[in-house]
Amino acid sequence: DIQMTQSPSSLSASVGDRVTITCRASQSISGYLNWYQQKPGKAPKLLIYPASSLQSGVPSRFSGSGSGTDFTLTISSLQPEDFATYYCQQNYIAPRTFGQGTKLEIK
Amino acid sequence: EVQLVESGGGLVQPGTSLRLSCAASGFIFSSYSMNWVRQAPGKGLEWVSYISSSSSTIYYADSVKGRLTISRDNAKNSLYLQMNNLRAEDTAVYYCAREEVYGDYDWFDPWGQGTLVTVSS
- CA angle, B28 then B31 then B33, to 5°: 115
Name the residue in chain A with its Cα closest to that of B44: A100
Name the residue in chain A with its Cα closest to that of B108: A46
Cβ distance A86 to A35 under 8 Å?
Answer: yes
Confidence of residue A51 (pLDDT cuts 50, 70, 90): confident
Q: Do B47 and A98 touch (CB under 8 A)?
A: yes
Q: Do A95 and B47 touch (CB under 8 A)?
A: yes
Model confidence at A9: pLDDT above 90 = yes
What are B62-76's pLDDT values in tens digits?
Answer: 999 999 999 999 999
SS3 label, residue A80: helix
Closest-CA distance, A17 to chain B, in angstroms, reads: 25
Residues 6+ apart with CB under 8 A from B66: none
Beta bridge partners of B20: B81
What are B69-111's pLDDT values in tens digits?
Answer: 999 999 999 999 999 999 999 999 999 999 999 999 999 999 9
Higher-confidence residue of A42 and A106: namely A42
Question: Which residue among B44, B61, B108 sits closest to A95, beta carbon to beta carbon?
Answer: B61
Average of per-residue pLDDT across B13-32 = 98
CB-based contact, B106 to chain A, within 8 Å: yes
CB-based contact, A34 to chain B, within 8 Å: yes
- CA angle, B112 then B71 then B30, to 5°: 70
Report whether the peptide linkage leading into residue A59 is cis, meaning its omega lies within 30 degrees of zero.
no
A96 chain-B contacts, CB cut-off 8 A: 35, 47, 50, 108
Contacts across the A-B interface (CB distance below 8 Å): 59
Model confidence at A78: pLDDT above 90 = yes
Q: Do B106 and A91 touch (CB under 8 A)?
A: yes
Sheet containing B78-83: give its strands across. Answer: B3-7, B18-25, B78-83, B68-73
